Amino acid sequence: MPVESIFHRLEALLPKVQKPIQYVGGELNSTVKDWDAADVRWALMYPDAYEVGLPNQGVAILYEILNELPATLAERTYAVWPDLEALMRAEGVPQFTVDAHRPVRAFDVLGLSFSTELGYTNMLTALDLAGIPMLAVDRGDDDPIVLAGGHAAFNPEPIADFLDAAVLGDGEQIAIAITEVVREWKAEGRPGGRDELLMRLAESGGVYVPKFYDVDYHPDGRIKRVAPNRPGVPWRVHKHTVMDLDEWPYPKKPLVPLAETVHERFSVEIFRGCTRGCRFCQAGMITRPVRERSITTIGAMVENGIKESGFTEVGLLSLSSADHSEIADVAKGLADRYEGTNTSLSLPSTRVDAFNIDLANEFSRNGRRSGLTFAPEGGSERMRKVINKMVTEQDLIRTVTTAYSQGWRQVKLYFMCGLPTETDEDVLGIADLAKKVIKAGREATGSRDIRCTVSIGGFVPKPHTPFQWAGQADHETVDRRLKALRDSLRGDREYGRAIGYRYHDGKPSIVEGLLSRGDRRVGAVIRAVWEDGGRFDGWSEYFSYERWMSAAEKAGVDVDWYTVRERAENEVLPWDHLDAGLDREWLWQDWQDAVSGAEVEDCRWTPCYDCGVCPTMGTEIQIGPTGRKLLPLTVV
């Protein structure tokens, strides 16, 4: 039976809400398929507002891949703002997809992509609006499988009670495999019900089903062990790694938003993974090994994406894009190809030691020289050694001096506050560095029209990194250091006005830390926050630290125990049964090296330092050069 659109019920509500266009769908390259022609149906959710969720690469790629499969249908849903949520509750309108406005509960799988833990309360809103039981144990055969992916899924334990399953790593291949398991189970008449389907997913070792694992605790609250509770369920669940990115040149038909979004460009992922070894960086650790796209595939994707979307900006994305082995040829080839057109190229924040002015000139050839972004992360040389960000003050000054002398007037610098072993002096070193940047720019140009913006985020220790054992700095310490830094910058008559200062206070970082390294007992806190009105916790105007602390107290959860406490080497961590490929002993040794300030080289260009990923995952680093060139096209 076809599932009817609920748009006629939704439409009456839209004149009463802000930004109604984000709910109407119909974007260029969106897909609406015949419900009855599909036997497996996915609702894909990015649990944030449309303007943040639509540009998300992970959801966009899976949306295309699944819709290319025969007898498979995928639609998108996003978090609705509180104004529409209230009206939907009053009028009985369920959580809907934006493609065909079908009710989310009618789908076979609800796949959520979590790039941050602060989207957890939005997931609960969506489940409740959809009429899907919030707790996985209460769901029946007719409810969708609620499946989590994305970086936060590498520790899904805080939301284990709400999830049926979670997937670690790259989603392209496992999404197809899950689809076939669901298709087969349905074709057989759904034998054994929901439990049998989950068992089939779990047996492969590639899908984590929390209900099939029991957690035992020591009297002091630490985890004793996590163990399967039925035969056939693996002790460890492994991440998925796509080894040939050239075989997966997605997105081929990028979605073009109707409403304003945070990124309005066509993005091409030029490589996946990073081996720089920054100890704070979960993304770099969990996405190993490095796998490059070839220069010719990048060129073909850019050409096709511009043609299919009409975007005039192309972003070349990765965790460290200037590290692509052929980035100079990629930049020159694309700049030559699109010279004289309205197409501009952009590179996200660039490592100081990977930047060169020729590269920057190629990327700005067709665009504005608006600004350059660098991420030294630590304010002192000592701090950068602790986090393995091997950038010296001389590197930074030399780089920005070159940039200013070549016509750039704005530089943005990213730092973190609250890093392990950090002192007040390390943070105040950020002010000294920013002042030296301005001084160098003025000397290089002979002009006082030089700007530098310092942007600072609070550090949160993440699972599967060397800092997973570290104690997190309390928010009082972070706020005190940030205030001292602000005073140092503003109080300088010579340089203060040339330096912009943006920062996030320490309280949201504590909540993120609770969710990042939490276990199943934290689920009660998330639900209590949601019941108290918690929504859109990643947005400062909606976030309430007091609400989270009150919920934790009611749930009997000691926030400090999960955040500021340092862990011992032999403590069982909530995510130890989830395998990112990294050797636990190697991570611990890297944590010890961090404390002593020892640095680790990038294994792309040096001998293997035995992090464990390549042998554990059966993978290998894939880098060029390929020796191929990107030939210009005849641009029409």
Q: Whole-angstrom Cα distance, residue 319 to residue 335? A: 22
Task: Convert the pLDDT of each residue in 515-544 to its tens digit.
Answer: 999 999 999 999 999 999 999 999 999 999
Q: 255's torsion region: left (phi>0), alpha (psi -120 to 50) or beta?
A: beta
Q: Whole-angstrom Cα distance, residue 20 to residue 23? A: 6
DSSP assignment letter at 523: H
Please identify which residue in the block is written with the tokens 């769901």.
139
% of the chain beyond a pLDDT of 90:
86
Q: For residue 285, give the 3-state DSSP assignment.
A: helix
Alpha helices in 446-534 (DSSP H): 475-490, 506-516, 523-531
Q: Whole-angstrom Cα distance, residue 444 to residue 205? A: 58
What are the b/e assignments for 385-411, b being 16+ CB within 10 Å? bbbbbbbebebbbebbbbbbeeebbbb
Report the DSSP pairing between strands 237-238 and 291-292.
unpaired
Beta bridge partners of 272: 291
Beta bridge partners of 40: 72
Q: Whole-angstrom Cα distance, residue 485 to residue 432? A: 10
pLDDT of 634 > 60? The answer is no
Backbone φ and ψ for 268, nearest 5 degrees, come out as: -120, 125
- Least confident range of 183-187, 394-398, 540-544: 394-398
Task: Convert the pLDDT of each residue in 569-604 to its tens digit.
Answer: 999 999 999 999 999 999 999 999 999 999 999 999
Please identify which residue in the block is written with the tokens 């340092």.
566
Q: Whole-angstrom Cα distance, residue 27 to residue 582? A: 40
DSSP assignment letter at 55: T
Task: Convert the pLDDT of each residue in 547-564 to its tens digit.
Answer: 999 999 999 999 999 999
pLDDT (0 to 100) of residue 409: 85
DSSP assignment letter at 229: S
Residue 470, both tokens: 């570290």
Average pLDDT over residues 249-261: 94
Give 368's pLDDT tier (boundaries 50, 70, 90): low
Average pLDDT over residues 603-619: 91
pLDDT (0 to 100) of residue 635: 47
Taken as a whole, the chain contains a residue count of 636
Give how far the C-alpha of residue 297 lies from the chain's centroid of Cα atoms, to the nearest Å. Answer: 24
What does the angle CA 277 – CA 283 – CA 284 come to, to the nearest 5 degrees? 20
Q: Whole-angstrom Cα distance, residue 406 to residue 567? A: 48
Task: Convert the pLDDT of each residue in 31-90 to its tens digit.
Answer: 999 999 999 999 999 999 999 999 999 999 999 999 999 999 999 999 999 999 999 999
Q: Are 410 and 499 in contact (CB under 8 A)?
A: no
Which of 160-169, 611-620, 626-635 is the most confident on average? 160-169
Q: For residue 209, give the 3-state DSSP assignment.
A: coil
Q: Are 286 and 239 in contact (CB under 8 A)?
A: yes
Handedness of CA 181, 186, 99, 159 (dihedral sign): negative
pLDDT (0 to 100) of residue 626: 84
pLDDT (0 to 100) of residue 287: 97
DSSP assignment letter at 398: H
Q: Whole-angstrom Cα distance, residue 334 to residue 345? A: 8
Residue 303, both tokens: 């050409």
Residue 367, both tokens: 């665009």
Q: For residue 413, give the 3-state DSSP assignment.
A: strand
Task: Convert the pLDDT of each residue in 119-159 to its tens digit.
Answer: 999 999 999 999 999 999 999 999 999 999 999 999 999 99
Q: Whole-angstrom Cα distance, residue 457 to residue 482? A: 10
Q: For residue 130, give the 3-state DSSP assignment.
A: helix
Q: Are 580 and 208 in contact (CB under 8 A)?
A: no
Task: Convert the pLDDT of each residue in 310-367 to its tens digit.
Answer: 999 999 999 989 899 999 999 999 999 998 898 988 887 677 877 777 888 887 777 6
Residue 30, both tokens: 């969106």
Alpha helices in 131-280 (DSSP H): 172-187, 193-203
Supply the mean pLDDT for the chain: 94
Residue 59, both tokens: 């959801």
pLDDT (0 to 100) of residue 636: 43
Tell me how crowded residue 116 is: count the other CB atoms within 10 A of its CB.
17
DSSP assignment letter at 256: B
Average pLDDT over residues 236-264: 95
pLDDT of 7 > 50? The answer is yes
Task: Convert the pLDDT of each residue in 263-296 to its tens digit.
Answer: 889 999 999 999 999 999 999 999 999 999 999 9
pLDDT (0 to 100) of residue 251: 96
DSSP assignment letter at 622: B
pLDDT (0 to 100) of residue 313: 92
Element (H, E) at 165: strand 165-166
Task: Convert the pLDDT of each residue in 106-122 to its tens digit.
Answer: 999 999 999 999 999 99
**What pTM value is reported for the model?**
0.96
Please identify which residue in the block is written with the tokens 């809103």.
125
Beta bridge partners of 166: 148, 208
pLDDT (0 to 100) of residue 94: 98
Beta bridge partners of 73: 41
Within 8 A by CB and 6+ apart from 517, the residues are 155, 461, 462, 463, 468, 562, 563, 573, 574
Q: Angle at which helices 424-445 and 475-490 pack, to 10 degrees?
A: 30
Within 8 A by CB and 6+ apart from 225, the residues are 215, 216, 572
